[in-house]
C-alpha cells in the first residue's frame, strides 16, 4: 500500500521531468567552477533540493488548475502531455494535490531564504520572481500564452541563481548558458502542447500553440530547436562555451527526428515519438553542455 502511494506521488510530481531543472542547476555549477574555480558542495545540495521543490510545486499546482478547468478531463493523455492523470483517475483528491503544491513551494522558498540571508538582494529578486510566477503560472501565465516564455526565463534564472549562490557574483557566461537551457526547456513545452491543442481551446486555456495554430506552430518549431546549437557555436568565439562543447551536437539526430516529423501532429501514435525525440534532444544537449564546461 505504501509503495503504491509513493508511486502515485512520484507520478503526480512528474519525477522524470524534474531532470530539466536538475540539468539547469548542474550547468550553473559547471559555469561557476569553470569561470571561478569554485564549488561549494553544501550550497549545491541545498540548491538542488530547493529547485526540485519549486519545480514539483509548479507541476502539482498546474495539475490542480488544469483539472479544475476541465482540460485534463477531456485531453488525450500521453506520457509527455495531458497532465499526470492522477486527478481524473481519482487517485488523489484535488485539495490534496493543491496542498502538496503549496507545501513544496514553501520548502523551496525556505531553501531560497537561506541563500537570501548569505547572498543578499540578487537571490531575493530571483526568489521573488519564482514565488510569484509559480503561483500564477497555471492561473494567469499559461492563459496569456506565455508558458514557453516563463519556462525559458526559468532556465535563465536557475542557471544564474545557482552560479550566484556558488560565487557571489554575476557573469555574462551564466546568463548566456541560462538562455541556452531556457530554449531547450521551452522547446519541450511547446512540442508537448500539440496533443492538448483541442482540449486547451475547448476549456479556454491559452497556449502559444493555440494562438499560433498547429500549422504555424509546426513551421516555427525548428527555430527554438536550432537556436541552442547556434548559441553554443557562437559561445565558443565569445568565450561563453568551449570548443569541447561541440559534444552537444551529439543530440542532432534527435533534433532532426523532431523537426522532420513535427507535421505528424494529427496522428498521436506517430507524434509521441516526436515528443520523445524532443525530450532526448533537450536532455542530451543540456547535459553535454554542463559536462563540456568542466573539461
Q: Is the pLDDT of residue 282 over 70?
A: yes
Find the mean pLDDT for residues 197-202: 83
CATH number for the region 2-294 comes to 1.10.600
What is the share, in percent, of the chain residues with pLDDT greater than 90? 64
Contacts of 233 (CB under 8 A, 6+ apart): 246
Give the pTM: 0.93
Find the mean pLDDT for residues 174-203: 91
Distance CA 248, CA 266 (A): 31
* Per-residue model confidence (pLDDT) at position 173: 96
CB 268 within 8 A of CB 76: yes
Up-side HSE of residue 37: CA atoms within 13 Å toward CB?
Answer: 0
* Per-residue model confidence (pLDDT) at position 1: 55
Placement of cell 481551446 in the chain: 201
Q: Is the pLDDT of residue 67 over 90?
A: no
* Per-residue model confidence (pLDDT) at position 142: 67
Find the mean pLDDT for residues 178-192: 95
Closest CA to 33 of 141, 161, 166: 166
Tens of pLDDT, residues 98-142: 999 999 999 999 999 999 999 999 899 988 888 888 777 766 676
Closest CA to 197 of 268, 287, 294, 123: 268
Distance CA 212, CA 145 (A): 10
Distance CA 139, CA 122 (A): 27
Q: Is the pLDDT of residue 12 over 90?
A: no
* Per-residue model confidence (pLDDT) at position 43: 97
69-78, 122-131, 249-258, range with greatest mean pLDDT: 249-258
The per-residue pLDDT of the chain, averaged, comes to 90
* Per-residue model confidence (pLDDT) at position 53: 94
Tens of pLDDT, residues 89-99: 888 999 999 99
Tens of pLDDT, residues 18-48: 899 999 999 999 999 999 999 999 999 999 9
Amino acid at each position: 500500500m505504501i509503495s503504491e502511494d509513493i508511486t502515485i506521488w512520484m507520478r503526480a510530481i512528474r519525477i522524470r521531468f524534474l531532470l530539466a531543472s536538475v540539468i539547469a542547476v548542474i550547468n550553473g555549477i559547471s559555469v561557476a567552477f569553470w569561470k571561478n574555480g569554485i564549488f561549494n558542495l553544501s550550497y549545491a545540495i541545498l540548491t538542488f533540493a530547493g529547485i526540485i521543490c519549486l519545480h514539483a510545486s509548479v507541476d502539482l499546482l498546474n495539475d490542480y488548475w488544469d483539472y479544475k478547468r476541465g482540460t485534463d478531463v477531456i485531453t488525450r493523455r500521453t506520457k509527455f502531455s495531458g497532465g499526470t492523470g492522477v486527478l481524473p483517475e481519482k487517485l488523489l483528491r484535488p485539495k490534496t494535490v493543491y496542498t502538496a503544491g503549496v507545501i513544496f513551494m514553501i520548502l523551496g522558498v525556505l531553501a531560497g531564504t537561506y541563500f537570501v540571508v548569505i547572498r543578499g538582494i540578487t537571490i531575493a529578486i530571483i526568489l521573488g520572481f519564482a514565488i510569484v510566477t509559480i503561483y500564477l503560472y497555471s492561473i494567469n501565465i499559461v492563459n496569456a500564452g506565455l508558458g514557453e516564455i516563463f519556462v525559458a526565463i526559468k532556465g535563465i534564472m536557475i542557471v544564474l541563481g545557482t552560479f550566484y549562490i556558488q560565487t557571489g557574483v554575476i557573469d555574462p557566461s551564466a546568463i548566456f548558458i541560462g538562455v541556452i537551457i531556457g530554449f531547450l526547456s521551452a522547446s519541450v513545452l511547446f512540442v508537448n502542447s500539440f496533443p492538448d491543442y483541442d482540449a486547451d481551446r475547448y476549456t479556454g486555456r491559452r497556449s502559444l500553440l493555440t494562438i499560433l495554430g498547429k500549422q504555424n506552430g509546426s513551421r516555427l518549431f525548428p527555430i527554438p530547436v536550432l537556436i541552442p546549437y547556434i548559441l553554443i557555436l557562437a559561445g565558443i568565439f565569445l568565450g561563453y562555451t568551449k570548443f569541447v562543447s561541440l559534444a552537444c551536437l551529439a543530440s542532432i539526430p534527435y533534433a532532426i527526428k523532431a523537426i522532420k516529423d513535427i507535421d505528424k501532429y494529427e496522428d498521436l501514435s506517430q507524434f509521441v515519438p516526436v515528443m520523445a525525440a524532443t525530450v532526448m534532444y533537450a536532455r542530451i544537449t543540456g547535459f553535454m553542455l554542463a559536462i563540456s564546461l568542466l573539461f
